[in-house]
Structure 1
């Protein structure tokens, strides 16, 4: 049996020892244990995200034209789908006709107002004429009363004949009747003026109602125009369309999913274990390896960190108050912005898998003290 010094001098022994050390070093490196612990935190639980917009109609109808195909590039405002617009054109014509009728009513109301104003002016002239006649009748009555007072004593002493005295009395009665007639004429003229004023007020009130009807008809026309415009379903932004699910002749209603528009702007959401985020902060450098790009390496920066773990956003909340408990590391979502001016970045698509590494040494996080101040986490 070989002795210990001979074992140490054996090449096989050294090979086994070296292999053991290499394996141990690989395990320590994989688990980020000393002396291989670094400030880089990595995860494979990361995906490319984008603001995918599901395009849906605002009105119902039959699809008359599908203007795009799967995965085409589109620009903001480009027509994607056209619906049969014949009904909506008829509704617009109907609304425009109703508006024309209301505008005609408004014009007639304005003419009626002018006529009522002219009638008021005429009634005012009649009132003025009746007032003048009343003044004249009262003056005649005053003169007739004076003549009768002078004629009565003259007829008694024979200086004036009875016939002349009777004529003077008849003139007095005639003047009294003329005053009453003038007063009646004044009352009639004032009543006519009041009626004309009320007619004018009625026309003014009616005009306000007609004006409101005109505004309502204009709003109906605008609504019909909007509905007609909505028969052309347009792209909300620049990007690429996904798979086109709508078919020619299909009947669609508001909310029916027709096609998805994927914009060029994308970002990465990486789900790190909670322990990995201890020193993670916005602004730190991130490296992205995208499977779909043949391992191409992209650069980015930590943009924001989720305010809660993924379990807090789940529909069914975890309840650990009963039964046995097994601690499961939670994950925090970290949004990473991709640096611009990188050629492979133009090929990123939402949903792609990414391996993310964040260098926590490129910045420092902060944690609050008990007194409200902050302390850096190195």
Structure 2
């Protein structure tokens, strides 16, 4: 009768001693980095290169959007460049730039002034009519206006051929058409959507041939399985002796026999309720104190022989006294 209680007392003592220097929680879940992939251009999917659960490397083709509309945009931009170049050539060969109109206007002024001088001499002697004399004056004024018009047209032609400080040495029309072509080629290249990193394909149900997708709308998720970690929500009362770098043991409900080694990577900057969508408002008369949970990131140090799946329920034990490493 004495041995049984003594054995129970010893067993309880050893169990209690084993719990000293450790804190644990089963409010923990396996996390993996995820990227929601969307197309940068809209259109119809014509090719799907992956399926649910496929492993892909960075740069692998995921799906292709119909490229034909974007090829037509490239062709249209090439035509715009050709039109702008032809316009520049036509402006360069314009008679307004050659100075021929200005020279002709000056010759016309000289001739009109000579005619006016003759009419002036005849008018002084009374051998011409007032109408002829005024017509000669009008011819001089008209010739001068034609010179000013020719000079204005020449300046306008030079302005059309001028280049700005933003694109020195290139006609603005040609530069605009060139940018249009570069944009069209960029959109054409974006019809092939590739993996930004290595990982596993998930949520690929919307990735179907013939599906019309909108630019910026996620259609598939890429899970980075090589950067797995555990997010454990410890009670605030467990954090007194916890510090970054302490060793930890990780167990999973899915694999009861599996035990992985890890360490405390970081301790959250706030409780879970503090970062919730609707934080708790405790300034009320019926306030009840609730023990808060703080997220703690546990890095996985050992390589798992089993596949780690995002969201798996975990149990974490942190050794706060350094007895296990």
Q: Which TM-score band (shorter chain)?
A: 0.7 to 0.9
Indicate conservation of the 8 Å contact 1:52/1:262, yes or no. yes
Indicate conservation of the 8 Å contact 2:37/2:220, yes or no. yes
Query: How much does 1:259 deviate?
Result: 1.5
Residues 359 and 195 (structure 1), Cα distance of their counterparts in 2 relative to 1, 3 Å cut: same
- The aligned counterpart of 1:123 is 103
Residues 238 and 298 (structure 1), Cα distance of their counterparts in 2 relative to 1, 3 Å cut: same
Query: How much does 1:241 deviate?
Result: 0.9
TM-score, reference length from structure 1: 0.67
Could you tell me how far apart the structure 2 residues matched to 1:58 and 1:118 are? 49
- The aligned counterpart of 2:201 is 241
Query: How much does 1:240 deviate?
Result: 1.4
- The aligned counterpart of 1:348 is 308
Structure with the bigger percentage of helix: 1
- The aligned counterpart of 1:89 is 71
Could you tell me how far apart the structure 2 residues matched to 1:189 and 1:52 are? 78
- The aligned counterpart of 2:213 is 252
1:67 aligns with 2:52: no
Listed as ranges, the gaps of 5+ residues in structure 2 are 118-124, 126-137, 164-169
The counterpart of 2:3, out of the listed 15, 19, 43, is 15
1:78 aligns with 2:39: no
Query: How much does 1:19 deviate?
Result: 4.7
Could you tell me how far apart the structure 2 residues matched to 1:280 and 1:345 are? 28
Residues 92 and 117 (structure 1), Cα distance of their counterparts in 2 relative to 1, 3 Å cut: closer
Residue aligned with 1:325, SS = coil
Query: How much does 1:56 deviate?
Result: 1.5
- The aligned counterpart of 2:298 is 336
Could you tell me how far apart the structure 2 residues matched to 1:57 and 1:318 are? 39
Aligned residues, how many? 301
- The aligned counterpart of 1:271 is 233
1:204 aligns with 2:158: yes
- Equivalent positions of 1:159-178 (< 5 A) are none
Query: How much does 1:302 deviate?
Result: 2.0
Indicate conservation of the 8 Å contact 1:303/1:336, yes or no. yes
Residue aligned with 2:171, SS = helix
Indicate conservation of the 8 Å contact 2:97/2:157, yes or no. no
1:288 aligns with 2:288: no
Indicate conservation of the 8 Å contact 1:71/1:242, yes or no. yes
1:56 aligns with 2:38: yes
Could you tell me how far apart the structure 1 residues matched to 2:242 and 2:201 are? 36
The counterpart of 2:24, out of the listed 33, 42, 48, is 42
Residue aligned with 1:17, SS = helix
Residues 284 and 345 (structure 1), Cα distance of their counterparts in 2 relative to 1, 3 Å cut: farther
Indicate conservation of the 8 Å contact 2:38/2:217, yes or no. yes
Indicate conservation of the 8 Å contact 1:120/1:197, yes or no. no
Query: How much does 1:66 deviate?
Result: 1.0
Indicate conservation of the 8 Å contact 1:288/1:357, yes or no. yes
Could you tell me how far apart the structure 2 residues matched to 1:288 and 1:37 are? 16
- The aligned counterpart of 2:122 is none
Residues 117 and 98 (structure 1), Cα distance of their counterparts in 2 relative to 1, 3 Å cut: closer
Listed as ranges, the gaps of 5+ residues in structure 1 are 1-12, 30-34, 138-172, 174-183, 364-378
Larger Rg: 1
Indicate conservation of the 8 Å contact 2:43/2:212, yes or no. yes
Indicate conservation of the 8 Å contact 1:123/1:192, yes or no. no
Could you tell me how far apart the structure 2 residues matched to 1:270 and 1:323 are? 32
Query: How much does 1:80 deviate?
Result: 0.7
Residue aligned with 1:69, SS = coil
Residues 24 and 285 (structure 1), Cα distance of their counterparts in 2 relative to 1, 3 Å cut: closer
Query: How much does 1:111 deviate?
Result: 2.9
